[in-house]
Structure formats: structure tokens, C-alpha cells
Structure 1
Amino acid sequence: MIKRLLMQSRFAAGLSFLALLTLITSGVQSAEDQRPPGLNGATWQFGPLNRWAYTHMSEVLPSKTIRRGSKSPSPLPGLGAAAKEMSIDWDGSPAQLSKLMEEQYIDGLLVIKDGRVAFERYAGTLTPERTHLLWSVSKTITGLTAASVSADGLIDLDKTVADYVPELRNSGWGQDTLRDVLDMRDGSEWNEDYAAADSTVRRQDCSDGLLTGPDCEGVPVIGNYQFLPAVGRMAGRHGSFVYKSGTTDVMAWVLEAATGRRFADLVEERIWQRIGAEQDAGITVDTAGFTLASGGMHATLRDIARVGQLMLNRGKVGDEQILPAAWMDDIFSRDGSRSWPKEAPVSTRPYYRSFMWGLGDGNGSAQARGVHGQLIHVAPASNTVIAMLSSWPDAEGGAPGVGGRSQRQLIKAIEAAVR
């Protein structure tokens, strides 16, 4: 009996030593993996808890895996020698990117210049292997998936939403063409006011079960398959660009109907496995099983940089043309409008095409953007891709000097520095 107790004691001591060793070797990473107190359905989207939540999405919300497949990742030349620090011009003075990343709540930043990684750095709880919520960068990946499905002749952009999804016939999107939907020129009465609890975008969050708390009182948790058909139409809106997240979810539903495949599986088969992704991605799933194409994807920084390089290469990965070059040329070469409804430099003609933001800078630059600071910047003229993942305290910034204007300034300074 005593011998057995001694053996058990030594075994327990051994386990304790191994546990201690694991803690020591994991260091700060172990502490970062601890779920912060107070994180729940009402708080996960916003600072400071979002910095942990965005890098642990499968622990926060139900998610479906987007598998990378079994082949080796496509190479990122220069990755091993990429700089961890860079000096840029900031308001007329030199500034270090590491400091600006902390000030701007940037969790990861990767720059590819002339096909080689020039800079890669992580902050917060993000690591090279860990995925991060993309928010509306997901929309651009939805557009690329639509490009693949369209190239196979499975959808016709001149047909209407109702032609593919009868359930949406009487909704705000039913009579719109798929081309209208891709450019967000549909006639739905969607309201994208993130600060208003009664806006369509926030009611969708509550209906999906992705947001809970006082702001969701009285909103039934039914999911998108019921929520989207109930969104009405606004007279006179059709033909004008108005940003609406639900429009991307409608396109995902169309793609599912046209192919008989779940949206996440389409992304997996047509984009993720073909770009040679390094890690599996994921996408959040609502209470009805609808995969949230408008803002639910989570992926690694390196893999969204690969998406950016795919776009810069006009749909090519290595020698393989996985998307039509004409689809990307159509995005890069468009002429925008001087009457753009959003803030933009006066010398530009911005536009929105195929779920991408065209800067209208005369150089073909275009971006995938998401709230809370997510970005893929694609600049054909300078042959540059900049991938950025962030955790701004709120959707539009939420802290002094943090937001879209500072992000645009930073992207411009980085592009100039690597040029």
C-alpha cells in the first residue's frame, strides 16, 4: 500500500513537472489562450475583449471548417527573411511600424512587394498559425467564389435572385440581377448603421444568434433563411450603391442554390485549396446553419495575403489560372464616380465592384475591407499586397486616431516605404 502511494506520488509529481514545463515553454502564449472574464454574446465583438475573441472564433461562435487540403502550401518567397520592423513617414516624421501597430490596434501586418514578403509582424493574441476574424473581407472572398462559379456557367449574372432562390422572390432582392447584387446596387431597404440597435445589420446579428443582450430584446433567433426573405424593398434605391451586408449573404444563398453545395464547401473547393492555403480557415454559422458570407470567415494573416496575391496575379496561382483574369481586370480598370457617397480624397474616383472597394486612384488599386480594421490592399501599379488584421474597439475605430482615415494614411505610407 505504501509502495503504491509512493508510486502515485511520484507519478503526480512527474505530471506536475510536465505541466510546469509546458507552462514555462509556452510562456506568454499560454496566458493569451486564457478566455478573458466577461466575454459573452453581448461583449465579444467590442474592445477590449474582441482582441482575444477575434483570434479564437471557434471558441466564441459555432463555425464550419474550410479545409486547406492535403497539398503543400503555396510558397511565400522571402518569408524567412522578412523584416519585423520598418520605418515609415508618419505626419512628416519617421515612425516605427511596431509602435503604430500597437497604437492602431493592429494584430497582424504582412507586406508583399514584387512577389516577395517584405514585412511580417504580429501583436495582441495573433500568431502565424492562428486565424483571425475577417469581418467583411469575407465579402471579397464571396465575390471570388462567385467568379469561379460564374466561370463554370453555373450562374448567369443577368438573371435575378428569384431565378435561383424562389424563397427570396418577394424580398428586397428578388427582382435584382446578380450583377446588381455583386455591386450592392440592389433595391433592398437594408440599413447598415452599426451604432443603431434597430438597424437591419444589428437585427441580423441578433436573429443569427451572434449577438445577445439588451439590444436583442424582442428579436427572435431564427437565422438567415428566415430573416433575409423578410427584408423589404426601398423605392428608388435600385441602381445606386448603398453598402449592405445582407446583400452578400443573399449571393451566398444563390451560390448554394445554383451548385447544390454549402457556401463554405464552395470556398474550400474553389478558393482555399487552390491558393495553397497554409492553414484551415473557418466561417461562423447561424442558428439555422447558414454560413455567414458577409462577415463570418476567420483565417490566418498569411493566407489572406495569399488571397491578395491571387487578386494581384489576376486569378493565377503559379501557372494555374483558377479565376478568370477578366474578372479581376474588370475590378481594377473601372472608372468610378466623383459623387461618391463616402469620404475619399478629392483627386480620386472611388467605386464598388464585385464586393471590392476600388480606390479610383488611377493606378487600379482595390481593397477588401472589414469593420474593426480588417484589410487586403491590392496595388497593381506598385505590385504590392498589404494584409492587415486588427481589433479596433468598435466597428469604425473607437479610439483617438483609430479608424478608416488613419488606416488609409498608414497603407499609403507603407506602400511608399517599400516602393
Structure 2
Amino acid sequence: MGGLKRAAIWGLGLTWLLMGAGLPAHADEFPVGDKGSMWADPYLIGSYRHMGDIYASRRVPRSGPVSELPAGEPLTIDSFPVGGVAMSLEDYVARARTTGLIVLKDGKVVLERYWHGADATSRFASWSVAKSFVSTLVGFAVADGLIKSVEDPVTDYLPELQGSGYDGVPIKAILQMSSGVAFNEDYESSASDALILWNQVLQYNKRTFSDFAARSKREVEPYAKFNYKGLDSVVLGMLVARVTGKNLSTDLAEKIWGPLGMEDDASWLLEDRSDKALEAPFCCLNARLRDYARFGQFMLQGGAWDGKQLLPASWIAEATRPDRSQVEFGALYPGTSLGYQYQWWVLQGSDRAFSAEGVNGQFIYVNPAKQLVIVMTSVWPQFWDNRLAKESFALFDAIGAALPD
């Protein structure tokens, strides 16, 4: 991950310039802001645990018995190597402003810690981690026969996108962030499409997501290049809502939240406060750390949970391994071995590890070879920090190395 410059990550544009350091260390000193103030300290850390209150959101209800996450042999990590130099975990946590870290080994909790005012009942903002939930809902729709094939043109299901940049684009190309639709997600530019989308839909509720998708333009042919953009995830969310006849929160509750025995409701930000509002498919699911970990464990187990195969293992395998040249290892960013598939980042190596990632340091890291799931939430001072990203994966590697095979 070292040296990765990921401008194409969801965020809020130039507001990152307002984010400072030197935050207080006590829970009662992390105030919660509103839609205007939350993006600057001292409100940012506290607000990231209350996104569902600050913005319009829909509840993702839990149901049924809570699934057990049994305790395993406790793991202690005081320091870890980064480029051959030992780094203190507490130093990393202070700089990364990490709020939660949980580690599952063989389905058992071996480490669970909270910082910066968070605790086990906090609902953490996920940012682009939500994309991986949406792609999994696409998988359920395929398994249920509601989507015949990911090779189908998306306009077979969303005819209102005919004449747009998405006209005739295969669903698979959209899953791979390779739709060919023009969209600028560079948050160093105040004119980026992503910032305009956020402001006009979520911030000020002036337009809908479907309006943006319908007005999109084609830049290159589908599969011609990887271009990470929230608009592709928007179209996937529209697709799931259309074929299921349900909003995304209800579908998530029925397919994942209830069956996995999540311990708390989640919330998902909406484009407006109407009953028919679409959730933000590119971001903004808010949930407890342990519930994110349950989702990671579900992916690790190949779509199985509590003795039942909820989603075909073939979908999990397909969704987490690059299979076209534009998303293969090393093709995304020069000098990296990173790959991409169905809204999941994939790490090259024999472990077949993959991760859901969000700005400011949100991760669901799944390592099948080591039977390891790590969930970490942070509030980095910048939306993406190459140094902190490198240190985060060094921490994940150290955790894996410290655990028995």
C-alpha cells in the first residue's frame, strides 16, 4: 500500500483543509456538530459517531437472537514494525485518531479496544466500506434470480438510464468501477463531480442520485479503464432497490443484518427525508464495530453463517478476486500491487486477503489464509494519508504474524 496516492476516495472536498490535530483525550470533550460545523475539529471525531443523527438517515433494524462472538486467546500488540522500525501502537492510535479496533481469529474475538471517547455501543461511520455491503446485496439479487447475470446491461433493469453514460453498460463493469462514465472524484479540486454530488444531494437535498446518473456522460468504453467513483455505486444501489422492490436498508436488514444476528440497529444516510429516498450507496452506513466484524466473518466463511449457506460461496470468490486486466494487481496505480473487483480492494499474495476501505481510515480486512478479520475505524486528519495507510496494513500484518496458524 506504500506510495499509494488515492485521490479517488469518497470525501467532502476541500473541507479536509479545516481538519486539525491536537484533540482532547476524554469522551466528554468530543462534541458533536451539525452538517456545517462537523467537518472541523473539535467536532469531527464525535460527529463520526453520530452521522445518522446529523444527516437524514434510515434505520437498518436488527432482529432475532444476537449471534455470539466468543472470546479467544487474548492478543496483545504493544508495537509493530513499519519499514524495519518499531512503532508504538499508542503512537499510531494518537496520530491516526483510531477510535476502534477488533480482531477475530477463527471467529473468536482476540482483541477489542476503543479510543477517543468511543466504546462498544458506538455507531461508527463507515464511508466507502458501505460500497462492499452494496455489492454483496447485488450478489444476493443474483442468487435470488432477480438479476439474471452481471453481464447484463444495467439498462435492462433501469431503463430510465437509457441515453445516459450507463446505457448498455454491463453490471459487471459497474461493479469493477470500470463503467466508462465520466466522473471526477479528485477531492483536491473544488469543481470535482463527487463534491458537487455530495453537496447537491446529501448536504443540501437539491437533487436526487438518480438525476445525477441519468445525466451522466460516457468517457470511454466499459472496461477500458478503472476509475473509482461513487456514481458507479449509486447505480448499483438503484439496481438493487429496483429489482428487490425494497429500499436498501430493508434489503440489508433482511439479507444480512437479521440473519447474521447483529447486536444493534445500524443507520444509513439518505438523499432526503422522503419515504422513497435512496440511501447513499457509496458511503455512510453507521454501525457498531462488532457488527462490522460479523460481516467480515461472513465474507471469510464464504457466505455461510450459523450452519446455513446464505450467499453462494462462488459469489464471494468471484467478488474478491480481480478477473479483468484493468483491475488486475498493479493495474490500478503505478508501483502498487493492489487489485480491485466487486467494490472490494484486493491485496496481492497467497493469503488472498481483501478489504473494504473508507476515507479517514475505515477498514474491514479479511484474510482467508489466516482465518483473520480485522475491523478498524479512525478519523484521520486527512481523507487519505499514504503514511497512515502503510502503517495500518503493517499493523494488520503484525497482528496476523502474532497469531497462531
When normalised by structure 1's length, the TM-score is 0.83
C-alpha distance in 1 between matches for 2:123 and 2:312:
28
1:75 equivalent among 68, 73, 96: 68
1:305 has 2:305 as partner? no
2:343 equivalent among 352, 355, 358: 355
Q: CA deviation at 1:177?
A: 1.1
Q: Retained in 1: the 8 A contact 2:322–2:328?
A: no
Q: What code does the residue aligned with 1:167 have?
A: E
1:153 equivalent among 145, 159, 175: 145
Decide which structure has greater helix share. 1
Q: What code does the residue aligned with 1:342 have?
A: Y
Cα RMSD, aligned residues only: 2.3
C-alpha distance in 2 between matches for 1:389 and 1:176:
34
Q: CA deviation at 1:337?
A: 3.0
1:102 has 2:94 as partner? yes
Moved more, 46-55 or 175-184: 46-55
Q: Retained in 1: the 8 A contact 2:30–2:43?
A: no
Indicate the residue corresponding to 2:360 in structure 1: 372
C-alpha distance in 1 between matches for 2:39 and 2:232:
21
Indicate the residue corresponding to 2:162 in structure 1: 169
Q: What code does the residue aligned with 1:271 have?
A: I
Indicate the residue corresponding to 1:53 in structure 2: 47
Deviations 1:141-161 (A, max 9, x none): 111111111100001212212
**CA gap 1:261/1:108 in 2 versus in 1, 3 angstroms:** same
Deviations 1:28-80 (A, max 9, x none): 65x25743xxx3434424555321111011221111000111x221111117x
Q: Secondary structure of the equivalent of 1:393?
A: coil
Higher relative contact order (CA 8 A, sep 6+): 2
Q: What code does the residue aligned with 1:311 have?
A: M
Indicate the residue corresponding to 1:408 in structure 2: 393
Q: CA deviation at 1:226?
A: 1.7
**CA gap 1:195/1:402 in 2 versus in 1, 3 angstroms:** same
**CA gap 1:418/1:83 in 2 versus in 1, 3 angstroms:** closer
Q: CA deviation at 1:195?
A: 2.0
C-alpha distance in 1 between matches for 2:270 and 2:286:
12
Q: Retained in 2: the 8 A contact 1:107–1:125?
A: yes
Indicate the residue corresponding to 1:208 in structure 2: 201
Deviations 1:154-198 (A, max 9, x none): 012122121111222222222211111111110110111122121
| 1:188-207 pair list within 5 angstroms | 188-207=181-200
C-alpha distance in 2 between matches for 1:68 and 1:173:
34
Q: What code does the residue aligned with 1:340 have?
A: A
1:119 equivalent among 107, 111, 119: 111
1:342 has 2:330 as partner? no
Q: Secondary structure of the equivalent of 2:225?
A: coil
C-alpha distance in 1 between matches for 2:210 and 2:221:
26
Indicate the residue corresponding to 1:270 in structure 2: 255
C-alpha distance in 1 between matches for 2:394 and 2:334:
13
Q: Retained in 1: the 8 A contact 2:321–2:341?
A: no
2:172 equivalent among 160, 179, 195: 179
Structure 2 unmatched runs, 5+: 1-25
Q: What code does the residue aligned with 2:166 have?
A: W
1:383 has 2:371 as partner? yes
Q: Retained in 2: the 8 A contact 1:104–1:402?
A: no
C-alpha distance in 1 between matches for 2:160 and 2:399:
46
Q: What code does the residue aligned with 1:266 have?
A: D
**CA gap 1:412/1:120 in 2 versus in 1, 3 angstroms:** same
Q: Retained in 2: the 8 A contact 1:48–1:393?
A: no
Aligned residues: 373
Q: Secondary structure of the equivalent of 2:112?
A: strand
Q: Retained in 1: the 8 A contact 2:61–2:253?
A: yes
C-alpha distance in 1 between matches for 2:223 and 2:316:
24
Q: Secondary structure of the equivalent of 2:375?
A: strand
**CA gap 1:355/1:60 in 2 versus in 1, 3 angstroms:** same
Deviations 1:299-338 (A, max 9, x none): 1111101111001100011201111100112244546635
Q: Secondary structure of the equivalent of 2:373?
A: strand
Deviations 1:109-168 (A, max 9, x none): 111112211111111132111101100000001111111111000012122121111222
Structure 1 unmatched runs, 5+: 1-27, 213-219
Q: What code does the residue aligned with 1:341 have?
A: L
C-alpha distance in 2 between matches for 1:206 and 1:152:
35
Q: CA deviation at 1:88?
A: 2.8
1:138 equivalent among 130, 134, 143: 130
Q: Secondary structure of the equivalent of 1:153?
A: coil
Deviations 1:229-270 (A, max 9, x none): 112111346432211111111101011111111111111111
C-alpha distance in 2 between matches for 1:248 and 1:358:
18
Q: What code does the residue aligned with 1:404 have?
A: A
Indicate the residue corresponding to 2:237 in structure 1: 252
C-alpha distance in 2 between matches for 1:188 and 1:45:
29
Q: Retained in 1: the 8 A contact 2:31–2:42?
A: no
Q: Secondary structure of the equivalent of 1:408?
A: helix
**CA gap 1:343/1:405 in 2 versus in 1, 3 angstroms:** farther
Q: Retained in 1: the 8 A contact 2:330–2:339?
A: no
Query: Greater CA radius of gyration, 1 or 2?
Result: 1
Q: What code does the residue aligned with 1:241 have?
A: F
Q: What code does the residue aligned with 1:320 have?
A: K
Q: What code does the residue aligned with 2:184 have?
A: N
Q: Secondary structure of the equivalent of 1:65?
A: strand
Q: CA deviation at 1:279?
A: 0.8
